[in-house]
Structure formats: C-alpha cells, structure tokens
Amino acid sequence: RWYGCGKETARCFGTVHARTPQYLLAGRWTPPCCLRALRETARHVAEVLEAAGVRYWLEGGSLLGAARLGDIIPWDYDVDLGIYREDVGKCRWLAAAAAGEPVEDAEGFLWEKAAEGDFYRVHYSRSNRLHVDLWPFYPRQGVMTKDTWLGHPQDVEFPESFLRPRVPMAFAGFTAMAPNNARAFLEMKFGPGAIENPEYPNPAVKRL
C-alpha cells in the first residue's frame, strides 16, 4: 500500500524491534513510498561519498538485495554501506557528524552519528527517519574490522581483499560500489545459499 510519506512527513512505520519492522508482523512488505525514499537516500549518499573520495561499498542486506535483484530487498527498512574509517574527514557532512553535530545538507538529508555506537546515519529528512547506515571499517593485518558490533549474525570481520578492488554493481536505480566477489562475501556473512534462499531479518520473530 502506498501511504505517501515524503520529506515533510514521518516514515510509514514505527520503531523496529528485534530487526523486525511492524509491517512484517502485519503480513506486509515495505510500503512503496518508503522504498522510494530509501532509493533516493542511497543514491544521494553514494554520490556525495564518491564526490568526496570516500571509499564505500554495499554491505549486509543491501548487498544481498543487489545480488538478488539489483534493488533493495522488498521487506528491508534501511540501507547499509561500509566505508573506510580513515576517509571520514574527506566528506564535510560526515566530518560534522563525527564531531557530534547533526547536519542537514543542501538537499535536506540529515547526517548524524548514530546513538547506538561508532557509525553514522543519513536520514531522508529531519521528519522522515528512513536512513542509510554508514559503517566505518578499518584494516588490521589484512582484515577489515570496526569498533561497534550490534550482534547481527552477518556483522563480522572480513578480508580486505574483498575491497581490492571494489567493483560497480546495479542497486536501487543507480550503480553502487561493491565487494569484488559478492557471492563469497555474502555466503561468508549469511551462510551458503544466501542469495537463493531469502529469509526475513529475524526468522525467530517472523519467517518468510
């Protein structure tokens, strides 16, 4: 169902509990207006990062959606990108967020440091909290790691060789950067057959 959320409204669903948005519990997938806003936010963030020289890549469920259908998974509620932590200062909006100052860019997207830990969040607007999460990784002895772990099964370290080089991949109506072996990357994070066997974010709460 199209509810019509936009920059001036709130998003169409409330708080996500146990990685499960309320629309899934109601037997629905992401409202199409929310997917539209997520696509716009993802494209905008990717363009800003590329222009600033920040190295980023599709992460987690967003890479899974790109590998399956070149788009956001139709029941997903955010977009995940990894970035190199050392590049944060190259982007004025990220640098401001890192300093603890939420900042609205010229297009009305709100950049801030997440309350839950050492990562960043770019919201569709101040009112509409659909967002892209930016996870700052750094290499340590050839392995990409980070300082905040939220306990998701796919939230693990991985070899930096997946990012050398990063490769272009169709996603949400534009071309994003991605790890160079999406299948191996995803199966390391989600398990064998992750691309071919869809599942909701937390099957213990709601199964597909």
DSSP secondary structure letter of residue 201: S
Reported as a single tens digit per residue, the pLDDT across 29-85 is 999 999 999 999 999 999 999 999 999 999 999 999 999 999 999 999 999 999 999
| 22-190 carries CATH number 2.60.40 | no
Reported as a single tens digit per residue, the pLDDT across 138-193 is 999 999 999 999 988 889 999 999 999 999 999 999 999 999 999 999 999 999 99
Distance separating alpha carbons of residues 64 and 58, to the nearest angstrom: 9
